[in-house]
Structure 1
Amino acid sequence: MTALKRLTREQRAAVVLVSLGPEHAQSLADQLGVDAMRRIRDALTDMPFVSQEEMLAAFADFITQLNIWSAGMRGGKKEALDLLTKALGETLVEQIRGPIVEVEQPSDVWSDFNGLDSQVIAEFVSQQHGAVSALILHKLASDRIPEVLGLMESAAAVEAIGHLSRPDDPSPAALSVAEAMIQDRLLTKDTDPTSDPKVIMIGETLGTLPRDLRDAALTRLDQEDAVRAQAIRAALLQIEDIPARLPTKSVQVLFRDLDRSIMVKGLAAVKVDTPEVSEFLLGNIAQRMADQYRADIDALGEMDGSTKDRAIGALVREILGLSRRGDITLNSLSDAE
């Protein structure tokens, strides 16, 4: 909660107790117990000025933390909520509290997570923010934590260790998010990223980009999610893969259906850097037509780098369009190999 960033947990509890007034504060203090009240008393000595926004936020935070505090409260969560309701009124407590949805956490997520290979866990945890990686590592069997840390990227391991040393317990909400993320990214077996429309879209888009930008994007994707990066590569049509992925019977469809200027510029763009592409395409049409295209290519003259990139991107987009419409069928790289 943004309004509470500068207040400690004990200071937030102090705000609640002071706001309740002596009658209700004493009852709640009795339930919290001596140890908790000592920490709250110490927090009061360093208490800064608290705005009205922070006071309301403190009440909301206190209520949501009752699941944690209740273990040390003689009266328990229900009695504490009753006290707050008497002091503040039912309407205000409900507004502060908001809708509380009791979600039964899937008990097998962390068990299944512990059953994964340490290298898989290390790679996954290395991709997370330090606080999240520490939360996840806390859920590992204690004897596996050093092993996983040793397999992690050094910078990520150091950051995780820093967060592991902090005493704060993860909130139920944070645990729920972590569980959902682990379930989705590591434990769900029936999701095929190659059929994900986003993956297909990204793969097709990358094929139309300049090679340097495309390679940089793929490197980043490899670092963030190797599984999805592999699926994106499978959807990616690179101009240099045309001889392997385009069946020879489909070459004539390109020359028949695509705009001639797109074909000429695309062939001119690959003539020097990837001549095998232009040789493949021109080698699978009638000789007379191929000679006409070669004359048009020579007439274009030299192309600069950005012009080549645009011409190649346009040609790849048109080929992908034919594939989506079912006019041609592209081979997968694995089939081609």
Structure 2
Amino acid sequence: MALKPKGVAELSRLTGPEKAAVVLLALGEDHASVWRGLDEEEIKVISQAMAGLGQVTSSVVEDLLVEFVSGMGSGAITGSVEMTQKLLASIMPEDKVDTLMEEIRGPAGRTMWDKLGNVNEAVLANYLKNEYPQTVAVVLSKIKSEHAARVLTCLPEDFALECVTRMLRMEPVQREILDKIEQTLRTEFMSNLARTSKRDSHEMMADIFNAFDRQTETRFITALEERNREAAERIRALMFVFEDLSKLDPGGVQTLLRTVEKDQLALALKGASDSLRDMFFSNMSERAAKIMREDMETMGPVRLREVEQAQMAMVQVAKDLANKGEIVLVGAGGDDDELVY
């Protein structure tokens, strides 16, 4: 979960680390040597404050650091993740900057266990299901009970029960073991989580374009192609559309059929290609496929907009299942992600 920028209008709203962040932003890269007088923990706390600072009004800057206002042009500065990384790069080795920025971009929290508490339960469960039950038991015992309960429900039932059994028998954990688990979580899980949270702007726009109705999507893509063909092609390749469901493996189709509402499926298939219809029908029982065909026939003519809305809803269901790790999606430009058996 990335830090969200916030506007600061009053000096009283600034915390100590935020005040330090404003001063360091005002000093800029020319005086980056000031950072060398801070220890690693102080750099981390101030960097986190800076990355989430947002815009600071000139009056606040003036109150905080009057003697520097005349040298700051507009008198206002903006703290952002990018600016923080740029300043840190001038005083720290690249690998340390990357590690620190990954932690800033990751879930909020002072300790590892606080951070885990802000990770989606399905995402955390997807990682923990590959760990030893004893390790999972330790992790679940260190986070809030409500969050631990949600994580357990996302784990395979037999594995979850084994973890519960280990938690019931668990004795106090040695500090060295706890430190090792924390380090593993930090290097293997949190760092990967932070990397995946760095969204490419084209990915963001592909998600937005996916949410358009087909007419609006075509209008925007066509207009963008005239201005920037390369960007339009990248967005088109990243988009996942209804017809891309044809690339699901049989297990993915079965999972989707169990999840999507039947009336929504019937409406979506009214506007599908023959090959995509056949794929879904072939993954149903003969009786279910016959009923679905009859339902589609009795619908009669339907509005194109309603069909598109049903198809968009199915795509969203598929994306939600993919985010939970229950199916694998391959988009228009995703040949490299196809499964090898």
TM superposition score normalised by structure 2: 0.38
Which has more radius of gyration?
1
TM superposition score normalised by structure 1: 0.38
